[in-house]
Amino acid sequence: MIHTLTQGWQWLDDLAAATASKRKRRADLTTMLLACQHFGDPQRFYECWHVAGSKGKGSVSMMLAQIAATTGKRVGVFLSPHVVDRRERAMSPTGFFADTLYVQACQQLYAEREFLLDLPNKTGRGLGWFELMTLWGMLVFRQAQVELAVFEVGLGGRLDATNVIPASLSVISLIEREHTQILGSDIEAIAWEKAGIIKRNTPVVLGRQRWLRLESICRQKAQEQQAPFFQVAGQVDCKLGALEADGMEISLSSQYFFRPLQTRLRLLGPAQAENAALAALGARVAWPELTATQIESGLSQAFLPGRFEIVTYSHSPPVIIVFDGAHTQASIERAVMTWQQLYPRGGHLIFACDIKQKLPQMLACLRQVFTQVILTQPGPDKSINLSVLAGLCDQQGLVPQVIPDWRQASEISLSRSRLSGLPILVIGSFYLVGAIKEHLGLVTE
């Protein structure tokens, strides 16, 4: 029997491992739909908003949840990945639910373990780890009696475990080339997968895209589904004001707003201003009765760890550490742009990233502000080839120091920062961000 969260996490991990050999590549959502049905379709006990995209979908999800919470409704938000604590995956916009709710959701799954273990015999595949966590999150929200749940897609959209929800709003943020081994080798195929969350007669709101052909793909899918189509490009004017370490002023204007919105974001950088524009438009489309003041308030309260998160590490002397899980070329570029505005004198860099990414371009971008880098493993659960990574750094003129242990890497950087008075940037992987935050005791309570 499960009595604690630790026991619940371990059992879920063991269950996913037990069915791993019986899992084939997902061709549809049959297994997830059957599992939801067995547990009474928990996703149908509350209104759902759905958010897909390559970059910014987590921030947009939290912004939407915060805006909705200003109405006084009970709101949940399902996010991935978590940075330090799994409870980050199913929480309220203001923090974690009571631990009893998380434990009860684990207990409900455990009570039906025979059904879950037998799923491969019923549908040809068992639930994967993310699918189990998605089902768990749905049960948490039902236990918490939320009135609205905002679900961030894990990967893609069309075949993602979250795509069983009866969404009343679909939102798609910036689309980039990613996960090509699963989503397809070209950006058009990836956009088609993301657009798979668009539901019949359900409004869809599209964020600003780099290529018009991606807008066309999403618009075509919306037309096929007879879904009202809205987009930030051409419909929301976004202006940035002052950017400081503790916030960023923005102004949003649109025919869909009662008046221009003026607010101060806790989430920093030009990309977050675009995310705010997308969230504001999405919220107004879904709930037209929302006031400008409610949207402004919700946007100003939205925060997520590991998104250009600035922390003052209070040891003598204090050190500024910026944590950013950016792991694509575009997100690295945006992080560097924000860094240059806030810390023009430079700093110290800790980096780890999957070798499959566009590393030369990412490293060339980092070389604009850093001359040296500490390369390390991204925590205990992932491993990368540091020799290959070091070679790529050399090619870009970025002097590498390989320190495999992320704990040692962080301590060495702290020592250097105390001597130089310059901040530290930890970037390239949410796993790395979480591992170093945990090591330094910078965990969410």
- 5-301 sits in which CATH class? alpha beta
Whether the pLDDT of residue 153 is over 70: the answer is yes
Residues 260-276 pLDDT 10s: 999 999 999 999 999 99
- Quick one: average pLDDT of 74-87? 94
Kindly state the percentage of the chain with pLDDT values over 70: 97
Cis peptide upstream of residue 120 (ω within 30 degrees of 0): no
Q: Rounded mean pLDDT of the chain?
A: 94
Q: Please give the CATH number for the structural domain made up of 309-439.
A: 3.90.190.20
Q: Identify which of 52-56, 329-333, 346-350 has the greatest average pLDDT.
A: 346-350
- Quick one: average pLDDT of 54-71? 96
- Report angle CA 404, 87, 24 to the nearest 5 degrees: 75
**Sequence-ordered list of residues with C-beta below 8 angstroms from that of 367, at least 6 positions apart, any chain:** 396, 397, 398
Neighbours of 120 (CB within 10 A): 17
**Sequence-ordered list of residues with C-beta below 8 angstroms from that of 37, at least 6 positions apart, any chain:** none
**Residue 160: what pLDDT?**
95
Confidence (pTM): 0.94
Is 173 within 8 Å of 275 (Cβ atoms)?
yes
The CATH 3.40.1190.10 domain(s) of the chain lie at 5-301
Whether the pLDDT of residue 24 is over 60: the answer is no
The residue assigned the tokens 């070091």 is 390
- Quick one: average pLDDT of 165-178? 92
**Residue 177: what pLDDT?**
74
